[in-house]
Structure 1
Amino acid sequence: MGGAQETGAQVEPVVRDSAGIARYRHEAICAVLRVTDGRLAVLLSTRVSPPFAGLHTLPSGAVEPEETLDQAVLRHLAAKVDVAGLAHLEQLGTQSDPHRDPAQRTIGTGYLGLMQASNEPHLPDGAGWFDVDELPAMGFDHAAVVARAIERLRAKLSYTNLGFALAPDEFTIGELREVYVAALGHDVSATNLQRILTRRGQLEATGAKHPVGSKGGRPAQVFRFVDRTLVVTDPFAVLRPD
């Protein structure tokens, strides 16, 4: 995952203030994940300028002096996707390898963003959704940010209600299972999923039923998440493969 650094790039010297304290560039980086076509995907763009021209990168950019990290990541995301469509955003951690940016000393703070499967945002030219299991060559250390984002998502799906940020507003248990299978990367029983999430108080029935399909059968009950903000419901739980 990720491409090799381009050769020939000159790293700018670290700037220091009058007291000799180093002043670094700081950037915000976001791995936006969603389930599309039954697979977990991440938003990437093709980089057009050096370093790493032609490789794929996550939405990212410098933090301005007058803004917070959260404000910075939302500003850079807005250039790639409708940030109003984000169902969840949280900070992942810091990337601090001195050589992570061959152009200059740069500290990077990574974020995880989640979008509902039913959301189909307009993307600019050069941007697209890529299967996390088949990532293209990536610039900088952005592949490591993607890996950390997936790890965080999968962990939190086990002990929180974070599925609300990937699933549609309303869904059948079969539809919800497809989202969880894609996000977790392993099979999950629909019966067990409903039992576990109901026991934890995450799901409630809407009273509606999904129409019977061409193959017949009973109408499927429609559910929704009780909360649409992050709630820890079972701190010691793990959703394992069946």
Structure 2
Amino acid sequence: MIRPPFRDQRGVAKYRHEVLAVVLRAAVGEPFRLQVLTRRRDHEPFSGRLALPSGPVEVSESMEEAMDRHLAGQLGLVRIAHREQLATYSDPGRDPFERTIATAYLGLVPCDRDEELSVGAVWVDAADLPELAFDHHLVVEAALDRLRGKISYTNIAFALAPAEFTMATLRGIYGAVLGHDVDVTNLSRVLRRRGQIARVGTLAEPGERGGRPPSTWRFAVNSFRVTDPFAALGPGRTHEV
């Protein structure tokens, strides 16, 4: 049963307002895969179930400051490469304890980030989510849709990639986000034509198959930019449609 809200002298209901964070990374592997950061709840409701990091907004802080505070306090995560407001969730029954309105954020971290997180922090496969608390599976789905859309017409992949990378690594990141394989040659052509990436040099050692060492690249701008507002990276040969 949901606890009735507090009302002020004029009868206006005062609701709990929290922030939710969907923090994603591209886990290195064959293939690369997207993972979302969760924590295991140690109290009711949904005690023992995995949930997104969340918490109330204090009267003296912005929602972005609240998000940073809860990520650091609950999970030990102190650096986000990119974040943006995602959506607000206000279903009256979304929290079985009390009326809670939640504003969700999308956060991204690079695939090579080696940050020691708090005990209880769990990276889970975004494509095969376990049962999450509250309505958090809907929030993750919205975050994935947002990222899939933006990776085609913006440089948002900078927040998932290392500072320097090979095109094979970038191909894996794009494939993990889009959910299909991409052609590395065409991906390189598209991103270079847009001016999104710049060549750094070459690795000291050749690749796994031998031959010439692969080139290394970086993103030209390490902040969010719309680079081609009408582009969509299609499957197959990674053409723009």
- Give the TM-score normalised by structure 1: 0.93
2:101 is matched with 107
2:216 is matched with 222
Q: Which moved more, 1:75-84 or 1:152-161?
A: 75-84
Deviation by residue 1:26-68 (Cα, 9 ceiling, x = unmatched): 0000000001132100001111111011111001000111111
The alignment of Structure 1 onto Structure 2 pairs a total of residues equal to 232
Q: Pick one of 140, 144, 151 that aligns with 1:146.
A: 140
Q: Pick one of 110, 116, 122 that aligns with 1:122.
A: 116
**1:141 and 1:52 mapped to 2: Cα distance?**
11
Deviation by residue 1:60-89 (Cα, 9 ceiling, x = unmatched): 0001111111111111011213222x1101
Q: Pick one of 69, 72, 78 that aligns with 1:83.
A: 78
- Give the TM-score normalised by structure 2: 0.93
Q: Could you tell me how far 1:214 is from its partner in structure 2?
A: 5.2
State the AA in 2 paired with 1:230. F
State the AA in 2 paired with 1:117. C
1:31 is matched with 22
Structure 1: which 5+ residue stretches go unaligned?
1-9
2:185 is matched with 191
Q: Is the Cα–Cα contact under 8 Å of residues 2 and 97 in structure 2 kept in the other structure? A: yes
**1:81 and 1:29 mapped to 2: Cα distance?**
16
List structure 1 segments (4+ residues) > 3 angstroms apart after TM superposition.
none
Alignment of 1:1-242 (within 5 A): 10-37=1-28, 38-79=32-73, 80-84=75-79, 86-209=80-203, 211-213=205-207, 215-242=209-236
Q: Could you tell me how far 1:213 is from its partner in structure 2?
A: 3.4
**1:28 and 1:14 mapped to 2: Cα distance?**
19
**1:18 and 1:214 mapped to 2: Cα distance?**
71
**1:20 and 1:191 mapped to 2: Cα distance?**
63
Q: Could you tell me how far 1:218 is from its partner in structure 2?
A: 1.6
Percentage of identical aligned residues:
50
Distance 1:230 1:82, change over 3 A: same
Q: Secondary structure at the match of 1:83?
A: coil
Deviation by residue 1:2-26 (Cα, 9 ceiling, x = unmatched): xxxxxxxx31102111111111000
Q: Secondary structure at the match of 1:12?
A: coil
Q: Secondary structure at the match of 1:237?
A: coil
Q: Is the Cα–Cα contact under 8 Å of residues 207 and 214 in structure 2 kept in the other structure? A: no
